[in-house]
Amino acid sequence: MECQECQKRPATLHFTQVINGNKKEVHVCEVCAREKGYKTYPEEGYSLHDLLSGLINFESQAMGNPQGGPFQQVKELQCPKCEMTFSEFKRVGKFGCAVCYDTFSERLDPIFRRVHSGNTKHHGKIPKRQGGNLHKRRQLENYKMELKTLIESEEFEKAAEIRDKIKALENEQDIGKEGDRP
């Protein structure tokens, strides 16, 4: 496959760009990728990283922020811990610290949706030690789901077992309400 930009060299970077829900396949060679800003570190990693600041910038346009309009007056979001501002974050495409995620929280969903195919919430691993109560809460949620299906299928003996497990787990200790953020 040849590069869609120069139509000379073979394409070596292949990815799907999703802008405003429109998917577009991009097939370019390294040289054009660098020239077009898809890629900045020649030897490294995923061109996606570099596309990102473009995507984030797009977000503010998509939100229809009129130039010089009242939005300009709004005080800019700034992280209390690392002092990263939202516009700086948009420019570099990187967070400054873990607290940035809280600081910019309300603006992040559209960005994550675009980068992660519509997803905004984590469904993977929980840290073994820090996770503490969270593991229990996830386990509890799973048991409750299981209980529901068992009752629906009228498997009451098994349901009773699960119910006992739930009770035991609930009695073990207080289950934290607001998560266990480090």
Partner 1 sequence: MTLQNFMNEAISPWMQEEGPDSDIVLSSRIRLARNFANVPYPILADADKLEEIRDFFKTNYENQSFQNYEDFAFIAIKDLSSIEKRVLVEKHLISPHLVKNAETSAVLISENEQVSVMINEEDHIRIQLYFPGFQLAEGLEKVFEFDDWLEEKINYAFDESRGYLTSCPTNVGTGMRASVMMHLPALAMTKQINRMIPAINQLGLVVRGIYGEGSEAQGNIFQISNQITLGKSEHDIVDDLESVVRQLITHERNARSRIQEQSGTKLEDRIYRSYGVLENARIIESKEAAQCLSNVRLGIDLGLIKKVSRNILNELMILTQPGFLQHYQKQSLTANQRDILRATLIRERLQLEN
Q: How far is the CB of 168 from partner 1 (least distance, A)?
A: 23
Q: Where are the beta strands (DSSP E) in 9-136?
A: 13-19, 22-28
Tokens representing 112?
Answer: 């994550």
Answer for which of 21, 42, 66, 70 binds partner 1 (CB under 8 A) is 42
Largest CA distance in the chain: 69
User: Residue 81, interface with partner 1 (CB under 8 A)?
Assistant: yes
In 3D space, the residue among 102, 172, 181 whose CA is nearest the CA of residue 134 turns out to be 181
Torsion angles phi and psi, residue 143, rounded to 5: -60, -45
Answer for which of 94, 144, 148, 167 binds partner 1 (CB under 8 A) is 94
Reported as type and span, the H/E element at residue 147 is helix 132-152
Stretch that binds partner 1, among 39-47, 66-74, 149-157, 158-166 (CB under 8 A): 39-47
Which string of DSSP letters, residue by residue, matches 99-127?
A: HHHHHTHHHHHHHHHHHTTT--S--S---
Q: How far is the CB of 167 from partner 1 (least distance, A)?
A: 24
User: Residue 98, interface with partner 1 (CB under 8 A)?
Assistant: yes
Answer for which of 58, 77, 78, 134 binds partner 1 (CB under 8 A) is 134
- Interface residue list for partner 1 (CB under 8 A): 1, 9-10, 12-16, 23, 25, 27, 29-31, 34, 41-46, 48-49, 52, 56, 81-82, 84, 92-98, 101, 108, 111-112, 115-131, 134, 179-182
